[in-house]
Amino acid sequence: KEQYTEPGSDDATTGSEWFPKSIYDLDICAKRVIMYGAGLDADHPGFKDKEYRERRMMFGELALQYKHGEPIPRIEYTDSERKTWGVIYRKLRELHKKYACKQFLDNFDLLERHCGYSENNIPQLEDICKFLKGFSRSLGPNESLFSAKTGFRVRPVAGYLSARDFLAGLAYRVFFCTQYVRHHADPFYTPEPDTVHELMGHMALFADPDFAQFSQEIGLASLGASEEDLKKLATLYFFSIEFGLSSDDAADSPMKEHGSNNERFKVYGAGLLSSAGELQHAVEGSATIIRFDPDRVVEQECLITTFQSAYFYTRNFEEAQQKLRMFTNNMKRPFIVRYNPYTESVEVLNNS
């Protein structure tokens, strides 16, 4: 079987559009960046800052040169970048302790212990990758502790990818991760993902097995999906992994119906956990929070420059997984994909 297929070379078994068949194919997806560095939009806070644009070009080139399997280049962050990180870190950690779900908080503690997370240091992607795989520690001459995580990986990316390329990474338990820092003019705003969003918002939960599985299943469903289905999966990603909440309430107990948002819900979405403003809007105010039902969620518009007009919750990640699975089982593809963890590739089986 072929290890490597070029984009555009139609797969004989399916006749469908190209998608990555092996984890190495993600090198191709990573190159198809929609926007980075040089192309900063006129409304971007770094648009008029020559030094910032040059720095972004450097990050862009590093990411474009990266190939799967290589160690991720360690970045020496500038004083200005570390200052931006520190300001956000302090603010967000305070809010996390009040509003983040338990799995997020427990794993964030581990990131602080093992990956150099602190107010004064921007962690390195390579260290997080090793942590997510699992790590062992000597406890004495004849004793050691092995802590397995999920095998999720991160790899540098120069900027925004198409939803199709971005979700394809998840099928291989790979998260495309920016390494640049937002412009210092406004530490609490960024119009695009940056490393503060990825590290503060996303990383902790990729160490959780149920969350990792949920993420991978969105990715697997996206491979070769129709345009229509792909848009639905991107929306499900958005309102769970980016903006999702959880609630332990016993089956919508009427007792708690009238509790305020911050008593009823814990947050797990990275877009919320990395944005002080929207996190407070969602849980401290009276934002609309409704049950995560995929058929309903896909009708919701994803807003990019304003707060969302509704958020969705599940009881836990297992429930999110079950609901996602019921939904994707009804999506039609002319083939079946099966992930092979030993070869880190997908097998495509004819389904006609």
Which sequence positions are flagged as catalytic?
197, 202, 242, 274
| Interface with ligand HBI, residue 157, by CB under 6 A | yes
Count the neighbouring beta carbons within 10 Å of the beta carbon of residue 231. 15
40 binds, among Fe ion, ligand HBI, none (CB under 5 to 8 A by kind): none
**Considering only 14-22, 46-54, 60-68, 163-171, which stretch makes contact with ligand HBI by CB under 6 A?**
163-171
88 binds, among Fe ion, ligand HBI, none (CB under 5 to 8 A by kind): none
| Interface with ligand HBI, residue 312, by CB under 6 A | no
Of the pair 177, 264, the CB lying nearest ligand HBI is at 177
**Considering only 10-18, 93-101, 156-164, 274-282, which stretch makes contact with ligand HBI by CB under 6 A?**
156-164
- The nearest distance, CB 350 to ligand HBI, in angstroms, is 28
The count of residues interacting with ligand HBI (CB under 6 A) is: 11
Of the pair 197, 264, the CB lying nearest Fe ion is at 197
| Interface with ligand HBI, residue 166, by CB under 6 A | yes
CA atoms of 257 and 65, how far apart (whole Å): 52
Q: Which amino acid is at 30?
A: A
- Choose, by CB under 6 A, the member of 19, 238, 313, 327 that binds ligand HBI: 238
| Interface with ligand HBI, residue 152, by CB under 6 A | no
Strands 311-314 and 245-246, bridge-based pairing:
parallel
- The nearest distance, CB 139 to ligand HBI, in angstroms, is 38
- The nearest distance, CB 222 to ligand HBI, in angstroms, is 9
Q: Could you tell me where the beta strands, DSSP code E, fall in 289-334?
A: 289-291, 311-314
- The nearest distance, CB 302 to ligand HBI, in angstroms, is 6
> CB-based contacts of 202: which residues, under 8 Å, 6+ apart?
175, 177, 241, 270, 274
- List residues binding Fe ion (CB under 5 A): 270
**Considering only 36-44, 128-136, 162-170, 209-217, which stretch makes contact with ligand HBI by CB under 6 A?**
162-170
Contact 292, 312 (CB under 8 A): yes
- Choose, by CB under 6 A, the member of 63, 161, 168, 171 that binds ligand HBI: 161
Helical segments of 223-300, H only: 227-237, 261-264, 270-273, 276-284, 294-297
- The nearest distance, CB 259 to Fe ion, in angstroms, is 29
- Choose, by CB under 6 A, the member of 212, 234, 272, 279 that binds ligand HBI: 234
CA atoms of 224 and 6, how far apart (whole Å): 15
Contact 139, 145 (CB under 8 A): yes
Strands 153-156 and 160-161, bridge-based pairing:
unpaired
C-alpha distances in angstroms, 199 versus 72, 109, 225, 231, 249? 15, 13, 29, 26, 29
Tell me which residue has tokens 């520190």: 86
- The nearest distance, CB 201 to Fe ion, in angstroms, is 6
In DSSP terms, 313 is beta-bridged to 245, 291
Query: Helices 317-329 and 209-222: crossing angle, nearest 10°?
Result: 20
Tell me which residue has tokens 């790590």: 135
| Interface with ligand HBI, residue 230, by CB under 6 A | no
Of the pair 105, 163, the CB lying nearest ligand HBI is at 163
Residues forming contacts to ligand HBI in the complex (CB under 6 A) are 157, 160-161, 163, 166-167, 176, 193, 234, 237-238
